Structure 1
């Protein structure tokens, strides 16, 4: 984009259980747990609690006592791209994982239990973009939206929407809303008439070192101020703040290179 299309919830709203296919969690695997927590804690005001322990060295980020994201430790010998990964809700992660395989995707991790918190898998679509699948038990996912420091939107950045949109529609049952402008390759994914995520085809502008990937947008009260703090904290500006129909937005990276966007949404 990449322009976000707004938050999935109302200000301060908490969620009891997410409709299958809804982005319900975002997680980041890094090499430097302490420095990453310092960065996001300073940037968004997050505090951290450990667990679930079945996921190894893993912490949940809290904002005003509500869970908003997770950060885990990569093994020292794993040199994987550092990236935010959205998790899509499922009532049956084993069935969803099998549907992913039958639809041309790949399941790289799981399905596996995360103790009493729930059951999960990590998969990739046919173009290689990685996403998670989450079947909630005690842990119901993101507990607050629409306020600064919370995930506001998730968007798949890919070469073209046609190559992958049928995969996500088949696995999660999304209704599709193509962009009105013929020169803007964008499809919004809907559940129960509600927009929940987007797919943006960028053609040759797709970064060669990244390939197709999911982008998480985080809400902020002031995009320009947040960008300045990102760079002060050791991160990087990738696309300068600019106005869009959905709010002021910028693309940045944290000190380990994880891409994310910040947005002040139009309400």
Structure 2
């Protein structure tokens, strides 16, 4: 995670199922731009407007994430949503439905950038599906301010793992532990996402949901920034097998995690 990596060149194909984009829908886009701009050093440029006002977040001129404004009458939860790559969004959306999931938005064209849909798995966790053309997703990873991992927090992993495996062809690698229900999803031999079964520990007000991790240089410093910027600290900094981590929420309540790579 410590070296900047070009995540996608202009003609790079994403392996289907790879998390390729993180998108946040909020009520007050300008104020949230200020929060993430201060926290991660992002700058913003206009993006596809199919679902309303939308901006792409850039780091050193390269795209890392997107944010849009919810229509006033929408009561959707304010949350970060991972987009999973597809070679054919329409076919993937059909497979989602056949496997017990729901397609809530699309498939539809996002101007010249590509084609997308927003779906949910059988437990209700929301994710996006992205078929890129001009816009192939996050263009840089491995530096502070970039998404580094996506994890589904759900009741149990067995049934939901079958769903994602059927839709995207993941290989599963369970974490063998008597008291820890966790499955890592792999594509072409490398880990791309995780499923964490929390049972009754899952927050009742959220239900099953995907959580995006962003890399930071210093978790403790980032937490002070979050507090100064009117965000909230939901889980204080703690050491994990993947580095020092914490979970926070932005001023509109969108949860995300911060991770400081130990290397």
For residue 175 of structure 1, the aligned residue among 171, 176, 186 is 171
SS at match of 2:36: helix
For residue 5 of structure 2, the aligned residue among 12, 19, 27 is 12
For residue 264 of structure 1, the aligned residue among 251, 260, 263 is 260
For residue 139 of structure 2, the aligned residue among 127, 140, 143 is 143
- Contact residue 52 and residue 70 of structure 2 kept, 8 A: no
Q: CA RMSD in A?
A: 1.1
Partner of 2:33: 37
Partner of 2:194: 198
TM-score normalised by L of structure 2: 0.97
1:159 is the counterpart of 2:155: yes
Partner of 1:3: none
In 1: Cα distance, 2:82 partner to 2:101 partner: 16
For residue 78 of structure 2, the aligned residue among 58, 82, 94 is 82
SS at match of 1:21: coil
Residue 17 (structure 1) shift: 2.6
SS at match of 1:97: helix
TM-score normalised by L of structure 1: 0.95
In 2: Cα distance, 1:266 partner to 1:173 partner: 31
SS at match of 1:181: coil
Residue 183 (structure 1) shift: 1.8
In 1: Cα distance, 2:86 partner to 2:141 partner: 20
The gaps in structure 2 that reach 5 residues or longer are: none
Partner of 2:219: 223
Q: What CA deviation, in whole Å up to 9, does each residue of 1:103-153 have, x standing for no partner?
A: 000000000001110000000000000000000000000000010000010
SS at match of 1:122: strand
Partner of 2:69: 73
- Contact residue 83 and residue 130 of structure 2 kept, 8 A: yes
For residue 49 of structure 1, the aligned residue among 27, 42, 45 is 45
In 2: Cα distance, 1:53 partner to 1:85 partner: 17
For residue 253 of structure 1, the aligned residue among 234, 239, 249 is 249
The gaps in structure 1 that reach 5 residues or longer are: 1-6
1:211 is the counterpart of 2:204: no
Q: What CA deviation, in whole Å up to 9, does each residue of 1:71-127 have, x standing for no partner?
A: 001011112110000000000000000000000000000000011100000000000
